[in-house]
Amino acid sequence: MIVAGDQQLLKQINRMALVRQLCGAPGMSRAGLSETVGLTKSTVSLLVRELMDEGWLTESALRATGALGRRATPLHLDGERLALLGADLGITGLRLVATNLLGVVLAERDEPYDDAADAAACVAQAARALTALAADAALAPRTLLGLGVGLHGAVDDTSGLLHVAPHLGWRNVDVAGLLRASLAGTALATLPLFIQNEAKVAALAELEFSGERGADPLIYVSIGYGVGAGIIVNGRLMTGLYGFAGEVGHTILQQGGPPCSCGRRGCADALIGLQALLDAVHGPRQPAPPEPLQQLFSAAERGDAATLAAVAAAGRHLGVLLNNLWVAFDPMSIALGGAAMRLGEHLVAPARQVLAEYAAATSLAAPAVRTPPFGANSIAIGGAAMARHYLMRPFDGHGVGSYAGT
Ligand SMILES: [Zn+2]
């Protein structure tokens, strides 16, 4: 809610309108920005000067435009002076990145949790690792703008509370409060902090950093131990009433199907997720091998028939899920990510095939299905993307002071 007379907020909204415009159309001039955004040329010049002084924008060499030789100076986001932090609090450990304003990774860390069952200890470990990352020489002398955190469960992004992370066994964890407490007294104590579910965060990486312009509506389906999605419509992330929008892992694909961690049966999670695949290969009651996921990936790579059959079955179920998402949201494209992408075309090809069969049956063109470029860092980079996304949208109500303790 914008309060009348809040000149600082109004100014920030105008400044960030210029930055967002340059994200989508790098190289615009001040005059072009004035025309597009609807601010006077003198206001644009003033705000651009501020944004250049602060490290958001830079200008490249003059270029002549038109027969009269008028010259316009192209403006761009500055990749050299600011940095964003992103964190993926994963199932078995942490993955952290620092990026520049354009999403280029400057420094990264990953480490296993000391004790994955202790959520507070894991958040404290993340705080220590983030502080160490921020001190990395590769970041000097950049100014840090914000920190985004992706969590593997349902999140209330307005409070930074994790409702439940089923594959970690964490419930009702005040991640924002714990992180703020752990960062107190460090250089990151007052950094704007944003917290969201991992699939939604990875969707924001696609929106902000993939370079896929106009890929909106966009659906990012994340397949790890479970299945989730981030849905972006008109440049905004759908979060829903309670933050559960995109929990497509618990859409039912098979009535009376295998039991799911949520209590239902036949959920996408229980038919497609890596936990379901592990259960299918090893049996649900079998003791897990020491490094179950690595063994699953290795078995697929060496062509183990039972593993490939289970992966292909999961892929066909994924195709059904993609069809349902296509029909529900009519997306421009669907991106697939998450740890299961290590299975590559063994998983994705059957999904594409099923989607193509549904498309052929209706004589409609199915949306493009692609695998984004960020790989194992997609959630951590998504954290950085989320920080940029909300900092550039000060009217959204996210940002400095969003969580208690700021
Ligand atoms: Zn479920």
pLDDT tens figures, 361-400: 999 999 999 988 888 899 999 999 999 999 999 887 665 4
pLDDT value at position 400?
A: 45
Question: Cα dist. 183→147, 191, 296, 365 in Å?
Answer: 12, 9, 37, 49
Confidence of residue 167 (pLDDT cuts 50, 70, 90): confident
Q: Ligand 1 centroid to 129 CA: how many Å?
A: 33
Q: Would you kindly state where each structural domain of the chain is located, as residue ranges? A: 7-77, 82-202+378-403, 213-371
| Residue 271 main-chain phi, psi, to 5 deg | -115, -20
Average predicted confidence (pLDDT) for the chain: 91
Ligand 1 centroid to 326 CA: how many Å? 20
State the distance from the centre of ligand 1 to the C-alpha of 274, rounded, in angstroms: 14
Query: How many degrees, rounded to 5, is the angle at CA 85 between CA 83 and CA 90?
Result: 160
The tens digit of pLDDT for each residue in 231-257 reads 999 889 998 887 888 999 999 999 999
Taking the centre of ligand 1 as the mean of its atom positions, its distance from the CA of residue 265, in whole angstroms, is 7
Dump strand ranges (E) for 297-390.
Answer: 333-337, 368-370
pLDDT band at residue 186 using 50, 70 and 90 as cut-offs: very high
Reply yes or no on whether the pLDDT at 2 is more than 80.
no
Query: SS3 for 175?
Result: helix
CATH architecture type of domain 7-77: Orthogonal Bundle (1.10)
Radius of gyration of the chain (CA): 22
The strand pairing partners of 83, in sequence order, are 144
What distance in angstroms lies between residue 148's CA and the mean position of ligand 1's atoms? 27
Phi-psi region of 165 (alpha: psi -120 to 50; beta: other; left: phi over 0): beta
Distance 358 CA to ligand 1 centre (A): 24
CB 224 within 8 A of CB 210: no
Residue 164 CA, ligand 1 centroid: distance in Å:
13
Dist. CA 240 → ligand 1 center (Å)? 18
Q: Which overall architecture, per CATH, does domain 213-371 show?
A: 2-Layer Sandwich (3.30)
CA of 223 to the centre of ligand 1 (A): 14
**pLDDT (0 to 100) of residue 355:** 97
pLDDT at 372: 83
- The first and second tokens of residue 101, run together, are 């304003």
Does residue 65 register a pLDDT over 90?
no
Q: How far is the CA of 385 from the centre of ligand 1 (A)?
A: 28
CA of 86 to the centre of ligand 1 (A): 28
- The neighbouring-strand residues paired with 265 are 259
Q: How confident is the model at residue 305 (pLDDT cuts 50, 70, 90)?
A: very high
- Predicted pLDDT of residue 381: 97
Superfamily of domain 82-202+378-403: ATPase, nucleotide binding domain (3.30.420.40)
pLDDT digits (tens, 9 = 90+) for 68-90: 556 689 999 999 999 999 999 99
Query: Each residue of 36-59: pLDDT tens digit?
Result: 999 999 999 999 999 999 999 999
- Alpha-carbon distance of 130 to 284, in angstroms, equals 36
Give me ligand 1 centre to Cα 161, in Å.
Answer: 21
Percent above pLDDT 70 for the chain: 92
CA of 251 to the centre of ligand 1 (A): 7
pLDDT of 401 above 60? no
pLDDT of residue 395: 82
pLDDT exceeds 60 at position 1 = no
Alpha helices in 100-174 (DSSP H): 119-134
Instruction: Tell me the mean pLDDT in the region 314-322.
Output: 98
Distance 71 CA to ligand 1 centre (A): 59
- For residue 302, give the nearest of 314, 311, 289 by alpha carbon: 311
Distance 259 CA to ligand 1 centre (A): 8
Tokens 């199907």 sit on residue:
257
Residue 405: its pLDDT value, please? 45
Alpha carbons 138 and 106: distance in angstroms, whole number:
6
Count of C-beta atoms within a 10 Å radius of residue 376: 17
- CA 180 – ligand 1 centroid, Å: 32
Q: What is the pLDDT of residue 288?
A: 54
Q: Do domains 7-77 and 82-202+378-403 have the same CATH topology?
A: no
